[in-house]
Structure 1
Amino acid sequence: MAKERSIFMGPRIRRLRRDLGLTQVGMAEDLDVSPSYIALIESNQRPVTASMLLKLAEIYHTDIASLARGAGDDFNAQITAIFKSPLFADLDLSPLEIQDFGSTFPATAEAVIRLYTAYQEGQMALADQSGGESTSGPDPISEARRFLAARKNYFLEIDQKAEDLAQEIKRVGGLEQYLNDQRLRIRRLPSDVMMGFTRRFDIHRREVVLDEALDNASANFQLALQIAYMEMKDVIADSLAGTQFDTESGEKLTRRALASYAAGAIMMPYQAFAKAAKNRHYDIEALRRQFGASFEQVAHRLTTLQKTGQEGVPFFFIRVDAAGNVSKRLDGAGFPFARHGGSCPLWSVHSAFQRPREVITQWVELPDGERFFSIVRTVTAGGGGYGRPQVERAIALCCASQHAHKLVYTKDTDIPAVQPTPIGVTCRLCHRADCLARAEPPIGRSLLSDDYRRPSTPFGLVDP
């Protein structure tokens, strides 16, 4: 009798269960197995058999091909990426040996992934401290970022509710008409009357007041945001339930981020947006025009396409100002670079200010050999009239190189022949000894002391 084919896919099963809003007990009841068996599968201590895959597809109406195909690939890619680290450069590890390790000892491989992730986080924290960041107390912004990153910036329940609202809004004739039907009046007032606010809800007069200087995309977003606060309060609260925040400000910032997520989901409903993104090959300008959104809003929304069976290209997003300050990070792919990177001057996100409003593409490579494709453009906040203050920021949307062929920006590009720009996460974590742009020496490397020679790079480093 032929042996039934099986595969280890614990993280994918865990994500599917969470996307469906199920507990391990609930999924076990649906599949007619024990909760402990589900727990073992999710921790990669038991494989998923072919019959179990068929049952998953039948009960949860999921795409069995993408579920099974992505499981082993994702896991092996994680293990392979870890062993490409300079930390293991002196070990002669073949690709086949690494893949065999992941397939033969999946639970041990999962432990290695967790251990290396903890090591990376420790290195990042050390680099942040060396860079002068405050560690004197809880950071509300970091709390909000951690909350979003832990969930890969995807919230199924918010998207589902937003999709229902978007259908109703379309049926009645748009955002303004929807609010009018709720007996709310929309008013637009001059900026000096708004006194620094872009939107104000006057509950007593039943008015939503907007700054008349807002462009169409920003005004639509503010109306969608008002609807989100009115109609999606419960689902936002449910998304926050069970999370312990160190600060009240951290919880408020996270709640605001979820409301903004909901507003974007109302303007760009998941199913329609995911289909359009795929059909238009992730052309941000084309999507912006189709959905009446801004470049930043579309880039933000592209990071959220993580619904099981309807996934888009996994993107991460970063926004910086001309001084290099990172004001927003969004990650739909789980890249360490997305959580801590952005300060390397060789990345075009920093030179984009010399070419305002132009879309700039770049292939980049990290020290461990991991390659990314980035799409960069500057955006303007504020303004709207002569003499009004405004600030220019740069947006970068990035994906791993293996997904770049799906983008309109790489059309007619011979991807294997591309020579990427070598960059680092931060100078303190980058061990490229020949970098002319280096601002600080890397952690763990000794400086070369030589009174007779001066290196061409800012810091001479002793060979490891």
Structure 2
Amino acid sequence: MSKSSLTGTRIRARRNLRGLRQSDLAQMVGVSPSYMNLIEHNRRKVSAPLLQAVAQALGVSEDALVQDGDIRFVEGARAAALRTDANLADLERVDEFAGRFPGWAKVLADTQARVERLERVVEHLSDRMTHDPYLGAALHEIISAVTSVQSTAAILNDSDDIAPEWQARFHENILNDSKRLAEGAVALVNYLDTADDTESGLAAPQEEVEAWLARMGFHYPALETMPLADLSRLVEGQVELSSDASRVLALQWLVRLQEDTRALPLDPFVDAMMELGAAPDQLAQHFGVPLPQVLRRLAMLPADDDRLTAHAMPGLVVCDGSGTLVLRRAVDGFPMPRFGGGCPLWPLYQALHCPGRPLRVTLLTDGRMGRRFTAYAICAPEMAPGFDIPPVMQSTMLVVPDSGPTNLPAGQQPLVVGGSCRTCAQQDCPARREPSILVTFA
């Protein structure tokens, strides 16, 4: 693909950096929003006069929209600067900086990406130490064995007149504790060793299922027509599904996904989206299906379908009545915790308090580089209610990226949320349940 053929992609990236809506840019340059959408998806060439108008509206040179200047460097340099007390006026010249010094811009972008990866590692390790009961028990067993060996050895070393029968008993204790220490260490290593394909892998069953679904793109075209009895063969021999528990969970989700695809076949569903837009409530009414089913279907559409290029791929979070996350589909810019619960302010949890009532909330993720999303959430029973049977509830939240301006009109300010309390820097949040590992509290 030639560099000029990606002009629309660069226009879209620059527009998002400026916080402009697609319709706003179209109005500024005198074209229709639908035509601007075709341009941004590289389906229409940009004439020289229009390119000049777009460049002027975005405050960049025409070369920046035609030549292969990596937008990632611009975004990375901006994100790195926002971590400091840099003059915000200088940030408006980050395009100029990246154009004049692309090497340094790449260094900043790569450094910023590494910092973000390390933060995710810190979050992962902290949450694992906090919430993984097996890891805590294994470490406790090792520490207990080490302490016992040390105490027994100290007695033998400090006492010269120990009776032979007691010496033999102490020696036996050291031997047994040493075996216990070795077995505990081996068990811990096996638990942390992802290369092992037994039940002692690093990932929990839910994580294995999510990794498997992610590799598939959360979409299985064969589910539209495959008989229910054949689903079990889809989970056999999958490298991510290394445990019996993960295969059981995967099969359960395949059954659910097949129900969704049969109730909402791909082609009619996409056609309805083209007509009605990605409005979950209207789609649910159009097909006569429950709203949670539409939310799941929207999150499981194929990312490579050309008909969906105008729609950003959303994220999905599902929890049960206890608030435990049972499925996550990540979306860039919206952090989702690996263990434990998410941010208490998520509409996912608010929906648990009002079953059957759909919620739509504009969210802004925590941080100076926070991103805006529209969240759709609803809580519904998983089975038909019955006498003497407590309802089994499940809450579903679809998270759709919003490229519009961050600042909304008065009275329509977005709700600022984090991924979890342990990784959120909002110190004065009334819903905080534990300190953050990213900031120091007084």
TM range (shorter): 0.5 to 0.7
Equivalent position of 2:414 in the other structure: 420
How far residue 398 of structure 1 moved from its aligned partner, in angstroms, is: 1.5
Residue aligning to 1:115: 114
Residues 316 and 397, structure 1, Cα contact 8 Å, conserved in 2: yes
- State how far apart, in whole Å, the 2-side matches of 1:415 and 1:445 are: 28
Contact 1:127–1:429, Cα closer than 8 Å, also in 2: no
Q: Which residue of 2 aligns with 1:216?
A: none
**CA 1:415 to 1:274, structure 2 compared with 1: closer, same or farther past 3 Å?**
farther
Distance verdict in 2 for CA 1:421–1:321, change over 3 Å: same
Residue among 443, 449, 458 paired with 2:437: 443
* Residues 76 and 109, structure 2, Cα contact 8 Å, conserved in 1: no
For residues 77 and 108 of structure 2, the distance between their equivalents in structure 1, rounded to whole angstroms, comes to 10
Going from structure 1 to structure 2, the CA distance change for 1:245 and 1:428 (only over 3 Å counts) comes to: same
Distance 2:408 2:278 in 1: 17
Matched position secondary structure for 1:310: helix
Q: Which aligned pairs between 1:123-162 and structure 2 lie closer than 5 A? A: 123-129=122-128, 131-134=130-133, 136=135, 137=191, 138=201, 139-153=204-218, 155=219, 158-159=220-221, 161-162=222-223
Q: Give the deviation of 1:114 after TM superposition.
A: 5.4
Residue 89 of structure 1 pairs with residue 84 of structure 2: yes
**Letter of the 1:145 counterpart:** E
1:383/1:389 contact within 8 Å kept = no
C-alpha separation in 1, matches of 2:229 and 2:318: 25
Q: What corresponds to 1:365 in structure 2? A: 364
2: distance between equivalents of 1:132 and 1:113? Answer: 28
Give the Cα–Cα distance (whole angstroms) in 1 for the partners of residues 5 and 109 of structure 2: 18
Offset at residue 64 of structure 1 (A): 9.0
Distance 1:99 1:278 in 2: 38
Q: Which amino acid aligns with 2:371?
A: E
Look up the equivalent residue of 1:435 and give its one-letter code. C
Which runs of no fewer than 5 residues in structure 1 stay unpaired?
11-62, 166-225, 406-413, 447-460
Displacement of 1:97:
1.8
Give a deviation string over 1:42-94, Cα, whole Å, max 9, x none. xxxxxxxxxxxxxxxxxxxxx9962689x999x84796378547982334562
Q: Name 1:310's counterpart in structure 2.
A: 307
Residue correspondence of structure 1 range 140-289 to structure 2 within 5 A: 140-153=205-218, 155=219, 158-159=220-221, 161-162=222-223, 165=225, 227-230=227-230, 236=234, 243-289=239-285
Match of 2:291 among 278, 288, 295: 295
Shift of the 125–143 alpha-carbon distance from structure 1 to 2, 3 Å rule, reads: same
TM-score, with length taken from structure 2: 0.58
- By how many angstroms is 1:104 displaced? 4.2
Pairing partner for 2:41 from 56, 59, 66: 66
Check conservation: 2:356, 2:379, Cα contact below 8 A: yes
Contact persistence 1:361–1:375 (CA under 8 A): yes
Match of 2:424 among 430, 442, 454: 430
Give the secondary-structure state (helix, strand or coil) at the position aligned to 1:382.
coil
CA, structure 1 residues 321+259, in 2 after alignment: closer, same or farther (shift >3 Å)?
A: closer
Distance 1:358 1:347 in 2: 15
CA 301–90 in structure 1, closer or farther in 2 if over 3 Å, else same: same
Please identify which structure carries the higher strand content.
1
Deviations 1:331-369 (A, max 9, x none): 4x4445246595222223223233221112222222222
Give the CA deviation at 1:427.
1.1
Verify the 8 A CA contact 2:73 2:109 in the aligned structure 1. Answer: no
Query: CA separation of 1:423/1:78 partners in 2, compared to 1, >3 Å: closer, same or farther?
Result: farther
Distance in 1 (alpha carbons) for counterparts of 2:436 and 2:414: 22
Residue by residue over 1:132-167, the C-alpha shift from the partner in whole angstroms, topping out at 9 and shown as x without a partner, is 2346343111111122235542x3xx32x455x3xx
CA contact (8 A) 1:376 1:394 kept: yes
Partner of 1:376: 377
Q: Distance in 2 between matches of 1:80 and 1:427?
A: 26
Amino acid in structure 2 at the alignment position of 1:343? G
Q: Percent identical across equivalent pairs?
A: 19
Distance 2:396 2:422 in 1: 24
2:227 counterpart letter in structure 1:
I
Please, what is the CA RMSD of the aligned residues?
A: 4.3
5 Å-filtered alignment, 1:1-12, equals: 5=4, 7=6
Equivalent residue, structure 2, for 1:222: none
What are the superposed Cα offsets for residues 276-323 of structure 1, whole Å, 9 maximum, x if unpaired? 124223332332343343222211110123234122342212122443
Return the letter of the residue paired with 2:94: E
Amino acid at match of 2:430: L
Give the residue type in structure 1 aligned to 2:206: I
The amino acid across from 1:390 in the alignment is P
Q: Confirm or deny: 8 A CA contact 2:362 2:375 kept in the other structure.
A: yes
Q: TM-score, normalization: structure 1?
A: 0.56
User: Once the two structures are superposed, what CA deviation does each residue of 1:171-217 show, in whole Å capped at 9, x if it has no partner?
Assistant: xxxxxxxxxxxxxxxxxxxxxxxxxxxxxxxxxxxxxxxxxxxxxxx
Native 8 Å contact 1:80 1:98 kept in 2:
no
Residue matched to 1:326: 325
Which letter does structure 2 place at the counterpart of 1:375? Answer: Y
Secondary structure (helix, strand or coil) at the match of 2:85 reads: coil
d(CA) in 1 for partners of 2:288, 2:4: 48
Contact 1:379 1:392 in 2 (8 A): yes
Kindly tell me: are residues 98 and 349 of structure 1, through their superposed partners in 2, closer, same or farther at Cα, counting changes over 3 Å?
farther
Q: Which secondary structure does the structure 2 equivalent of 1:328 belong to?
A: strand
Where does structure 2 lack aligned partners over 5 or more consecutive residues? Answer: 10-37, 45-65, 136-190, 192-200
Aligned residue number for residue 345 of structure 2: 346
Q: Are the counterparts in 1 of residues 357 and 379 from structure 2 also a CA contact under 8 Å?
A: yes
Task: Tell me: CA distance 1:277–1:78, structure 2 relative to 1, closer, same or farther (3 Å).
Answer: farther
The secondary structure found in structure 1 opposite 2:212 is helix
The equivalent of 1:389 in structure 2 is: 390
